[in-house]
Structure 1
Amino acid sequence: MALLEVNDLSVLLHTHRGSAAGVRNVSFSLERGQTLGVIGESGSGKTLCMLALMGLLPNNAEAQGSIVFNGQQLVGTSEEALCALRGDDIGMVFQEPMTALDPLQRIGDQVAEPLRLHRGMRRREALEHAAALLERVGIPDAQQRLKDYPHQFSGGQRQRVMIAAALACDPDVLIADEPTTALDVTVQAQILDLLRDLVAERGMALILISHDLAVIARYTQQMLVLYSGGVVESGATEAVFARMAHPYTRALLQARPRLDAARGSLLPTIPGQVPDLFAAPAGCRFADRCHRVQDDCRQAEPPMVTLPASGPIPHLARCLHLESAA
């Protein structure tokens, strides 16, 4: 049995406009030491999917499907059971450390909190471990900085503090939601190299959410491409980038800035917008933005198709015209 097995995970959002699925039938599995990348435009459901794994959905959201962690079903389990897992067996590095860190608490106490809650350590012992964690993630003068507050750290240092707190109890799964947002290129590389080293060192599984396709290509073994809450392509990272079977995956890659682009040339964009969740089309949700759309694309949502010669990790794509997309 896999360490983390997710099957047909959906997240329903209940609002004054009615109910709609922000995440639709997402499935994947992870073993210890494996890395999974999740990509897609803003609003594609990446963060909402990961919050469902953590049991941190907003009050108007409802998870359906199956999330099995270490043999334990998490969908429908009690808040008490989820609290026992969060920060202990499953850690998360949130997208914006300045809002995730408490500005009124010293850094040492925030990193030490999981150790006190889940390991029962006394404050002094927990702070000693917190200093060691901060040193491990590259914070200079870690012992002296335990008494500092978040505003006294740079953006890159705050992100390192978040990683230290997430790693405090040596989790089996670490979820990193855009861990390099708003960091310069050098600090980005340092943070991502640190995460890669920690996966190898601790044997944990890593889920990395990012808009940066180069990051996913370099640091993950398998990947999911999300669009309008659903997976449109998945498989081994190398295989997905080698073929990019779904038009959306290819469009994402083409929209990246290129160093060899002529001066003054326009950056390619994906026309249109992600469809409204409350007025989703009957067919392929990417149809209105796809330059290869055909009449049958608008009839019903395409099924997931397994591509030939996809290797140990199946290469799947949700498209009726894969040969056209290749």
Structure 2
Amino acid sequence: MPLIEVSGLHVALRTFRGTAAAVRGMSFSLERGDTLGLVGESGCGKSMTALALMGLAPENAEVSGSIRLDGEELIGLRDRAWRGIRGRRMAMIFQEPMTALNPVHRVGAQIMEPMRLHLGLSARAARQKAIELMERVGIPEPERRIDSFPHQFSGGQRQRIMIAMALSAEPDVLIADEPTTALDVTVQKQVLRLIADLVAERGMALILISHDLGVVAQNAKRMMVMYGGSVVEQGKTNQVFARPAHPYTRGLLAARPSLAHRLAAHRGDRLETIAGSVPDLFDLPAGCPFAGRCTFTLPSCDSIVPPEISLSAYHCVRCGVPEAILGTFSTHDGSRENTLPA
């Protein structure tokens, strides 16, 4: 039995303009030690997926489908039951530590709270463990700084404190939502290495959300590419990067600045871009969410949900235009390799 299994997850947001589909039919499963990366543009549904998994979707959200943790269905649980799961079984590193941390409480008290609530530790034992966690995540002089307030730490240190909070009750599933936002490259590398070490050490399942394809490539064994609330491509990370099949995935990879682009930037070289803009959630087509921006768009793409096509045992794509997928695998001599199933 998988540690966490998500099947047909939908999140619909009810607003004064009507209902918007923020997440449309997401499915995946994770075992202990698995790492899954979610990538895509802002507004594609990554963070909303994470909030739904934690039972923290906004009040105007209607969550349907299935989320099972060790076989227990989570959708439909009462708040009291969710409070026993959040922090203890599932924990989340939020995107902005300065807004996630309470500015009027000392960081030590915030790290200790999950341990007091979920593990039943005494104040003294929780404080000692909080100091050990702060030291483990690289906070200098933790015995003294445990009584400091969030504003007395740098951005990178606040992110490390968020990691310590998320790990304080030793959860089974860790969700990291843009854990390296606004951090410099050196601190980003340290934070990601720390998360990877702790996941491997404790046998947790990790869901890593990021705009940075390089971060996902280096830190997730599997990845899902999201657009318009839907998963358009998924598979083992090395396979998706080696053979991106969906036109949107290819556009994302092409838009990455290479070393050659950086060296030539002063000469006015432009990066590749994806034509058009991300559609409003209320204007998404009923069929493929990428219809209209995709150069392979057919009239049927707007109305027919694209089928899932398996390219290998661990790599699949949702696209209704075979030519779009075949175009991915052009060989160096100009011929095309047909990798679609017979």
Q: TM-score w.r.t. structure 2 length?
A: 0.92
Give the 5 Å matches for 1:101-120.
Answer: 101-120=101-120
**Paired residue secondary structure (1:288):** coil
Out of 168-177 and 118-127, give the one that drifted further: 118-127
CA distance in 2 between partners of 1:212 and 1:276 (Å): 23
- 5+ unaligned residues in a row in structure 2: which ranges? 330-342
Out of 80-89 and 297-306, give the one that drifted further: 297-306
- 5+ unaligned residues in a row in structure 1: which ranges? none
CA contact (8 A) 1:292 1:324 kept: no
CA distance in 2 between partners of 1:170 and 1:266 (Å): 46
Report the CA distance between 1:299 and its aligned residue.
4.0
CA contact (8 A) 1:233 1:249 kept: yes
Equivalence for 2:335: none
Report the CA distance between 1:292 and its aligned residue.
2.6
CA distance in 2 between partners of 1:325 and 1:46 (Å): 25
Equivalence for 1:153: 153
Equivalence for 2:138: 138
CA contact (8 A) 1:275 1:281 kept: no
Equivalence for 1:268: 272
The structure 2 residue matched to 1:281, chosen from 279, 282, 285, is: 285
Equivalence for 2:332: none
State yes or no: 1:259 paired with 2:259. Answer: yes
Equivalence for 2:295: 291
Supply the RMSD in Å over aligned alpha carbons.
1.1
Letter in 2 for 1:292: F
Give the 5 Å matches for 1:236-251.
Answer: 236-251=236-251
State yes or no: 1:79 paired with 2:82. Answer: no
Report the CA distance between 1:142 and its aligned residue.
0.8
**Paired residue secondary structure (1:287):** coil
Q: How many residues align?
A: 322
Where do 4+ consecutive residues of structure 1 move more than 4 Å? none
Deviation sequence 1:193-238 (CA, Å, 0-9, x none) = 0011011111111000000101111111101111000100011111
Percent of matched pairs sharing the same residue? 58
Deviation sequence 1:128-163 (CA, Å, 0-9, x none) = 110000011111111111110111111110000000
Deviation sequence 1:160-191 (CA, Å, 0-9, x none) = 00000000011000000000000000000000
**Paired residue secondary structure (2:259):** coil
CA distance in 1 between partners of 2:303 and 2:152 (Å): 56
CA distance in 1 between partners of 2:256 and 2:110 (Å): 37
Letter in 2 for 1:324: G
Deviation sequence 1:285-304 (CA, Å, 0-9, x none) = 21211123234433412111
State yes or no: 1:324 paired with 2:327. Answer: yes
Out of 50-59 and 255-264, give the one that drifted further: 255-264
Give the 5 Å matches for 1:78-97.
Answer: 78-97=78-97
CA distance in 1 between partners of 2:104 and 2:194 (Å): 27
Letter in 2 for 1:128: Q
Report the CA distance between 1:282 and its aligned residue.
3.2
**Paired residue secondary structure (1:68):** strand
Equivalence for 1:16: 16
Report the CA distance between 1:283 and its aligned residue.
3.0
CA distance in 1 between partners of 2:143 and 2:61 (Å): 41
The structure 2 residue matched to 1:302, chosen from 269, 288, 306, is: 306
Q: TM-score w.r.t. structure 1 length?
A: 0.96
Letter in 2 for 1:104: V
CA contact (8 A) 1:38 1:224 kept: yes
CA distance in 1 between partners of 2:69 and 2:140 (Å): 35
CA distance in 1 between partners of 2:171 and 2:213 (Å): 26
Equivalence for 2:35: 35
Report the CA distance between 1:40 and its aligned residue.
0.4
**Paired residue secondary structure (2:260):** coil
Deviation sequence 1:30-89 (CA, Å, 0-9, x none) = 000010000000000000001000000110001100000011100111111111000011
Letter in 2 for 1:113: E
**Paired residue secondary structure (1:65):** strand
CA contact (8 A) 2:35 2:206 kept: yes
State yes or no: 1:197 paired with 2:197. Answer: yes
Deviation sequence 1:239-294 (CA, Å, 0-9, x none) = 11111100001101111112102332112221212222222223322121112323
CA contact (8 A) 2:255 2:273 kept: yes
CA distance in 2 between partners of 1:213 and 1:14 (Å): 31
Deviation sequence 1:76-131 (CA, Å, 0-9, x none) = 11111111000011010000000000010001001001001111222222111100
CA distance in 1 between partners of 2:174 and 2:159 (Å): 14
Equivalence for 2:44: 44
